[in-house]
Amino acid sequence: MEPSSEDPHLYWTTWLLGLTSLLLSICSTVASNSVSHGSKAQDPGFVPMYGAQGGSVLFHVIKKQEADPEEISWGFGPQSNYRVLLRVHRGADTPTWVSLQDKYQQRVHVPNVTSLKIENLTREDSGQYRARARFTGGRELTQVFHLTVYEPMILPEILVKSSSVTPSWCNVTLECKSPEKREDLKVTWESKGLPSELAWSETPELAPNTWQLTMNLSLNKPNAILTCVVSNNVDKKTASVDFVQVCSHGSHRQTIADSLGGILWTIVVVLFFLGT
């Protein structure tokens, strides 16, 4: 008797099941690694903090344990080359200074074991501050704060770049300009007294710290105020202009131009007749 051959349908079914199982295993491994890498990528590694020159900032360690740490050391500088400023021990009235007393000691306060406050900030205070907390049982926690100290802002200025006035409408282009040439500035336009259906167009930054706004408004509308708001993470400054006043100035210039044109035309006509 000849040996029975294996059923080809059963063979291919078994082969496909094995291949499917292998592919699912590979996909599961890739997805697991992607989630792991993604969670690391989403962790910024530090807490962003902002302060104004002459102001203050408060760092606070967020604990994962209920109990306060036995000790926290505070340092300044990048991870590869930071210096420990001071150590705070639980129950102690004052911190133990380690370095940079001349720069910080008169401006630093420790409200409690997990907080550090720096007053009278300067631009040189910008950088990384590192808190290393030590808990009972050998557990440790490190938090890094990245502080950015901003200079006081200067008032912006609104300039009328162009205006065109008809008996019923006024088309004007305004320019908001900040004396400060800094990349961290944000500029927005606000309005008061303008109809919600009014369309306006804002031109992106044309030159360093210069923004334009073009509007077309009916002269029958009530007075409207346009405000340019220049801000950063800690402060903002504004400048405002009355839309009707801008248009009335444009209308006045147009009236003068029309009058001069009429006078010149009259002179030309008179000279023509005198010449004949």
- The percentage of the chain sitting over the pLDDT mark of 70, rounded to a whole number, equals 65
Domains: count for the chain: 2
Compare 133 and 265 and report the one with higher pLDDT.
133
pLDDT at 246: 80
Give the pLDDT band (50/70/90) at residue 148.
very high
133 and 217, same domain (yes or no):
no
How far are the Cα atoms of 47, 52, 54, 121 from residue 126, in angstroms, in the given order? 13, 10, 13, 9
Q: What's the pLDDT tens digit per position in 22-61?
A: 666 655 554 444 433 333 333 346 899 999 999 999 999 9
Q: Over range 90-106, report the average pLDDT.
A: 89
pLDDT at 42: 33
Is 173 part of a structural domain of the chain? yes
Compare 87 and 181 and report the one with higher pLDDT.
87
Query: Measured between alpha carbons, how far is 78 from 29 in angstroms, rounded to an integer?
Result: 35
Is 33 part of a structural domain of the chain? no
Does the pLDDT of residue 96 top 80, yes or no? yes
Q: What's the pLDDT tens digit per position in 193-244?
A: 766 544 455 555 555 667 778 877 777 765 778 888 888 889 889 999 887 7
Per the structure, the complete domain to which residue 168 belongs is given by: 157-264
258 and 165, same domain (yes or no):
yes
Of 150, 185, 217, which one is at a domain's C-terminal end? Answer: 150
Report for 27-36, 67-76, 252-261: range of highest mean pLDDT: 67-76
Query: Residue 185: which H helix or E strand, with range?
Result: none
Is 93 part of a structural domain of the chain? yes
The CATH number for 113's domain is 2.60.40.10
Cβ-based neighbour number of residue 230 at 10 Å: 25
First CA to last CA distance, the chain: 137
165 and 240, same domain (yes or no):
yes
Is 211 part of a structural domain of the chain? yes
